[in-house]
Chains A and B, each alone.
Chain A
Amino acid sequence: MSALRLDSVSISFGPLHAVEDLSIQLQPGEVYALLGPNGAGKTTTLNMILGFLRPERGSITVAGVDALTDPLGARARIGYLPETVMLHPTLSAIENLTYFALLAGRKIDVTTARKLLGEAGLQSDAHERHSGSFSKGMRQKVGVAIALAKEANLLLLDEPTSGLDASAANDLSNVIRAASSRGIAVLMATHDLFRVKDVAHRLGILRSGKLVDERDAATLDPVALEQLYLQRLAS
């Protein structure tokens, strides 16, 4: 069973075709990078998978659950990491994680929360601190822990390394690899070609809502990937 399957998905906003006839399939443990400039339709695609937008045509299935007829059921199988993770500033990392896990239908104890935060790379001395004092990277790590806490079949990452320093971005790469090794599929919308090359198994390039290319990441070195990306955007 595919972790994610998009079949001929299309959506328009008035005259603008935001996503057109998009088909993607991810197997468990596969890391897929969705590349494209601003406005290419990456976030719109994620919004449709999450059930926030309803496509005009096509179908979306998450781990066998039809996301269009059962968006809650689909979301229960998706771990989502937004570009900027914002948390309850007066709650600690553990409390934030416990809350979001509860929203996901899971009750976790403090030990589990500490373990998840550790897996996400958050230092243990920050677990009890109010998240209001956290840097973007630290919040991002709590966000990763929230996504992991769901024990999801699919991770959706929206520009996950945007604004992160090299160390934090590297930590995130490790988390993605670890998730992949546990059989969790990852769909990552990003501009970060280096990170794509680092962690992705496959990549697709979106331009004006259309998937204009799809490759195995292993077949491309970083320079070739950049040239391909620029060519596809220019053509």
Chain B
Amino acid sequence: MSAPAFRDLFVWEWRHVGRSPLLWSIVVILLASFCWGALTTAFKHNEQSAALERARADDQALIASTAERAVAYRAKITEDAGQVAYWQDPTNVAGYSEYFVRRHALKPHLPLSPLATGVSDLAPSRLEIKLNTPFGFNDTYDFENPRGLALGRFDFAFAVVVLLPIGLLLLCALLITFERDRGMLRLVAAQAVGPRRWIGARMAAILAWFVPAVLLAQVVALAIAGVPLGQVAAPLAVSLVLTLLYIFFWSGIALFVLARQPSAGAALGMFGAIWALLIIGLPMAISALVATVDPPPSAVEYVDAQRRVRDEIDAERDALLTQALGARPDLAAHVHRATSLDYATRLSFLVPEIERRLSPQRVAMEDHRVRQERIAFATGFLLPTLGIESAFAALAGTDPERQRRFEQAAREYQQQLRACVYPLVQAEITKPPAPPVRETRGRLNLPEPLDLPEFSMTEASNAERIRNVLPFAFWLALLATVTSIAGWRRADRWQVT
């Protein structure tokens, strides 16, 4: 007589586990939580997408009204019509530059966005771009750790990262310790099977049900949340692989603990401690440590610096403008006009100076943000619970890197607009001002509103997104393998005496 074949044991266990009400209860709960999480994010993102559409419509409406107004102001003046202030006049290039050039930089959600709530829900995905806003747009949002959001908002990634391990560990603990708690383990151990094969067969049977059920639940949840599955086949497949590896990681931990055949109570206590450490304790500790070692630059100090710099610029305004005009060969002969420039023309010289003076603080903030991203990336390797969340966000397009890329594109877009408009505004300095009494209400130094470029942002391709998460996927696979092998090696003898 020889030991039972693993395949025979597995088949028996597979049938037995498949009849367990616990398994199906956990699967149903996970399916419900996956759907709930994905729908929560999808609703939020739909609202944001609607806001983006409104912004797009606002831009079109402004362009249309500017064109309409320009037509009206080119018409011959009537007797009862008065003059128009320059800031109301789209045919005046200075007024146009400050009061009619307003576009939105928009960051649309990607099709797989319900996979994970991310930075996009904290940071703006819609930025109003005006020529003279320092650094591109108003920085009215506080950038927070998206983990805080995940704990507050129930998204799909939260369900996977936090709830899935609970379900799996509960299942393993109760199904694998059953014989121990029921007093059957001695009888099992007295047969011709070793603990590795016996525990291995049961664990494999649990996973043989759990893995397909969870992966199917993931696909169903995302489909219900409106993800066009056909369009996102590749990143979706990678997200499924990540979920699979995450399950294997936790099953490796489960195997390691259960290898010594503890009672259900002891196993659950151990699992609870490990879960709390990986999901709550270590992330909070690392977050606290990072905040202590590398605190973020003070937002209050930045606001204060902005106010101080503006005050300085106001005080030095005439001198700065004189210096700016004098430094330009094409404008040097018109230095005498420095003190009589209109507000919009003045801004075309002064805003770059404001940006120059604030750049140390701005650079410090950007540098800190980049460091935080690097730390978060590295921490993901230390704590797979954080890593998988970041990987999901990267596949969903809600990651900080995409947000940073969007904000950089917004800033570049503003520079692009300035390159179109500022030369025209500043060229007016060399020309005589419009006469106070004219045949038209408009000043007509800009006969037609400019055909300004549209905002565009270079998106990472699906292949790039996948490439970005592959190192973590390999690392997770390695961790899963190491924990499983360690657990398998640990299950070297029956603990029945």
Residues of A within 8 A of B (CB): 47, 50, 52-53, 72-73, 75-78, 80, 82, 84-90, 99-100, 102-107, 143, 146, 150-151, 156
Are A102 and B12 touching (Cβ within 8 A)? yes
Are A77 and B1 touching (Cβ within 8 A)? yes
Are A104 and B192 touching (Cβ within 8 A)? yes
With a cutoff of 8 Å between Cβ atoms, the chain B residues found around residue A107 in the complex are: 8
With a cutoff of 8 Å between Cβ atoms, the chain B residues found around residue A85 in the complex are: 187
Q: Closest A-chain residue to B191, C-beta based?
A: A103
Are B194 and A82 touching (Cβ within 8 A)? no
Does chain A have a CB within 8 A of B315? no
Chain B stretch 1-22: residues in CB contact (< 8 A) with chain A: 1-4, 8-9, 12, 16, 19
With a cutoff of 8 Å between Cβ atoms, the chain B residues found around residue A87 in the complex are: 184
With a cutoff of 8 Å between Cβ atoms, the chain A residues found around residue B191 in the complex are: 75, 100, 103-105, 150
A86 and B182 in contact, given A52-B189, A102-B8, A107-B8 (Cβ under 8 angstroms): yes
25 contacts between A and B (CB under 8 A): A50-B189, A52-B189, A53-B497, A72-B3, A73-B192, A75-B191, A76-B1, A85-B187, A86-B182, A86-B187, A89-B182, A100-B187, A102-B9, A102-B12, A103-B9, A103-B188, A103-B191, A103-B192, A103-B198, A104-B4, A104-B193, A105-B1, A105-B191, A107-B8, A150-B192
Does chain A have a CB within 8 A of B496? yes
Q: Closest B-chain residue to A73, C-beta based?
A: B192
Number of interface residues of B (CB under 8 A): 25
CB-CB nearest 4 A-B residue pairs:
A103-B191, A80-B190, A76-B192, A86-B183
Query: B189 to nearest A CB, angstroms?
Result: 7
Are A82 and B186 touching (Cβ within 8 A)? yes
Q: Give A116 to B494 CA distance when docked, in angstroms.
A: 27
Q: Give A85 to B9 CA distance when docked, in angstroms.
A: 21
Query: A207 to nearest B CB, angstroms?
Result: 21
Which of A72, A84, A100 meets B194, CB within 8 Å?
A72
Query: A53 to nearest B CB, angstroms?
Result: 6
With a cutoff of 8 Å between Cβ atoms, the chain B residues found around residue A82 in the complex are: 186-187, 190
Most B Cβ at <10 Å: residue of A90, A99, A102: A102
With a cutoff of 8 Å between Cβ atoms, the chain A residues found around residue B16 in the complex are: 99
A106 and B8 in contact, given A52-B494, A78-B190 (Cβ under 8 angstroms): no
Are A52 and B3 touching (Cβ within 8 A)? no
Q: Give A87 to B182 CA distance when docked, in angstroms.
A: 8
Q: Closest A-chain residue to B1, C-beta based?
A: A76
Q: Give A151 to B2 CA distance when docked, in angstroms.
A: 12
Are A52 and B12 touching (Cβ within 8 A)? no
Residues of B within 8 A of A (CB): 1-4, 8-9, 12, 16, 19, 182-184, 186-194, 198, 494, 496-497
Query: B87 to nearest A CB, angstroms?
Result: 82
Q: Give A87 to B189 CA distance when docked, in angstroms.
A: 13
Are A75 and B184 touching (Cβ within 8 A)? no
With a cutoff of 8 Å between Cβ atoms, the chain B residues found around residue A73 in the complex are: 192
Are A105 and B4 touching (Cβ within 8 A)? yes
With a cutoff of 8 Å between Cβ atoms, the chain B residues found around residue A99 in the complex are: 12, 16
Query: B6 to nearest A CB, angstroms?
Result: 11
With a cutoff of 8 Å between Cβ atoms, the chain B residues found around residue A90 in the complex are: 19
Are A104 and B494 touching (Cβ within 8 A)? no
Are B4 and A102 touching (Cβ within 8 A)? yes
Query: B60 to nearest A CB, angstroms?
Result: 67
A105 and B192 in contact, given A53-B497, A76-B2, A86-B183 (Cβ under 8 angstroms): yes
Are A105 and B187 touching (Cβ within 8 A)? no
A106 and B1 in contact, given A50-B189, A75-B191, A150-B191 (Cβ under 8 angstroms): yes
With a cutoff of 8 Å between Cβ atoms, the chain A residues found around residue B188 in the complex are: 100, 103
Query: B261 to nearest A CB, angstroms?
Result: 12
Q: Give A53 to B189 CA distance when docked, in angstroms.
A: 12
Are B184 and A104 touching (Cβ within 8 A)? no
With a cutoff of 8 Å between Cβ atoms, the chain A residues found around residue B3 in the complex are: 72, 76, 105
With a cutoff of 8 Å between Cβ atoms, the chain B residues found around residue A104 in the complex are: 1, 4, 191-193
With a cutoff of 8 Å between Cβ atoms, the chain B residues found around residue A106 in the complex are: 1
Query: B134 to nearest A CB, angstroms?
Result: 71
Query: A76 to nearest B CB, angstroms?
Result: 4
Which of B9, B12, B190 meets A75, CB within 8 Å?
B190
Q: Closest B-chain residue to A79, C-beta based?
A: B190
Which of A47, A102, A143 meets B187, CB within 8 Å?
A143
